[in-house]
Structure 1
Amino acid sequence: MVRRLLGSQMQPLEQNQRENIFHTKCSINGKLCSLIVDGGSCTNLASSRLVSKLNLKTNPHPRPYKLQWLSEDGEMMVSQQVEVCFSIRRYNDKVLCDEVAMEASHILLRKPWQYDTKAIHDRFTNKISFKHNDQKIIFKKLSPK
């Protein structure tokens, strides 16, 4: 029993990066918001809560679709899009997102953003780097605090 307890102790943060997603904070209309970069599916997402709280203008989605993996409540219809202007320190960007009801983050940047910026996610250090206006930009993950 003691051997099992000792084996399950917390690993140092560097050894735990394998399972970590990239999570940071950004600013949208002067408000601090959470942002996740994940190389998963082919659409950027913005939370309905973010859209309503910041009174962001939505537009009808050109090709509405059903999404199931994001919610335990079953399928949800994605029928609205929103253009979100955000900044992380000196980096500013505007990204088109599908509006969805999600609690994980305010913005979930996926393959389209990574492709457009040519971002590289170093999963070992959990940093994202890319060039913007001939300057190298590096996003570092949030500290555990």
Structure 2
Amino acid sequence: MIFREANLNDIKQIQIVRNSVTENTLSNPDLVTNKDCEEFMTIRGKGWVCEVENEIIGFSIADLKDNNIWALFLKPEFEKQGIGSKLHNIMLDWYFTQTKNKVWLGTSPNTRAEKFYRKQGWTEVGTHGKNEIKFEMTHNDWAQIKNNK
């Protein structure tokens, strides 16, 4: 299992992972284009992947422009193995070396993702978009969480 920074050659496999999820699915897969992935990975922020035998099985992308976690997804068969937590931690470590601004994300209620972010120490601050829960993480909260791990 290899964790590394994502590159443009990974976009095709990242899209496969994104469209394999059973929760927080896209109503239309064309809503997230390859160009979007490229922009978020190279201009707006950075991404990371986890690969097993040269196959990407999970990825995360942080957006510095909007101080947002743009994506954190795993193929369903690789859930509950600590991969999401590792991608999450790599991403937040990088994010908070770039800025001290709080970061936010939105996710659907009553999902494994909601439980995951609560377990990771995110704070619910309201709603976002169409019925999503909005979570935030501050630099100080992340530093404290890391010190307790």
| TM-score band, normalised by shorter chain | under 0.3
TM-score normalised by length of structure 2: 0.26
- Higher CA-based Rg: 1
Q: Which has the higher strand share?
A: 1
Q: Which has the higher helix share?
A: 2
